[in-house]
């Protein structure tokens, strides 16, 4: 095989193919690690939100994400 004016022997071609395969495997592994980290961060945030809601419920507090549940008097036509 002749590339860029240089003749490659069988060993060199096999080595290049091997390096490309390692690169592809490394990129696939890196992508999987990124997806796992993203999943874990989302899971941890959801777990913390559930735990905070449980603590608020045990203390008898209202959920601050719900409209009209914040401190202070309610105003407007809905009371």
Size of the chain, expressed as the number of residues it contains? 79
pLDDT in tens, the chain (79 residues): 777 788 888 899 999 999 999 999 999 999 999 999 999 999 999 999 999 989 988 888 766 666 555 555 556 566 5
Residue 79: predicted pLDDT? 52
74: in domain? no
Residue 76 domain flag: no
Angstrom distance (rounded) from CA 39 to CA 33: 10
Identify whether 18 is part of a domain: yes
Number of domains observed in the structure of the chain: 1
Q: Say whether 49 sits in a helix, a strand or coil.
A: helix
Q: Are 63 and 53 in contact (CB under 8 A)?
A: yes
Spatial separation of the C-alpha atoms in residues 48 and 5, rounded to whole Å = 61
Give the closest residue to 74 by CA, choosing from 58, 56, 59, 62. Answer: 62
Tell me, yes or no, whether 78 lies in a domain.
Answer: no
How much is the pLDDT for 73? 57
How far is residue 27's CA from residue 61's CA, in Å, rounded to a whole number? 48
Residue range of the domain that includes 48: 2-52
In a domain, 77, yes or no: no
Q: Considering the domain boundaries, does residue 30 fall inside one?
A: yes
């Amino acid at each position: 095989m002749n590339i860029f004016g240089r003749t490659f022997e069988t060993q060199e071609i096999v080595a290049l193919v091997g390096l490309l395969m390692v690169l592809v495997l490394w990129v696939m592994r890196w992508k999987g690690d990124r997806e796992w980290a993203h999943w874990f961060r989302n899971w941890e945030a959801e777990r913390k939100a559930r735990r905070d809601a449980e603590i608020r419920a045990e203390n008898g507090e209202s959920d601050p994400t719900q409209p009209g549940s914040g401190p202070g008097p309610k105003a407007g036509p809905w009371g």
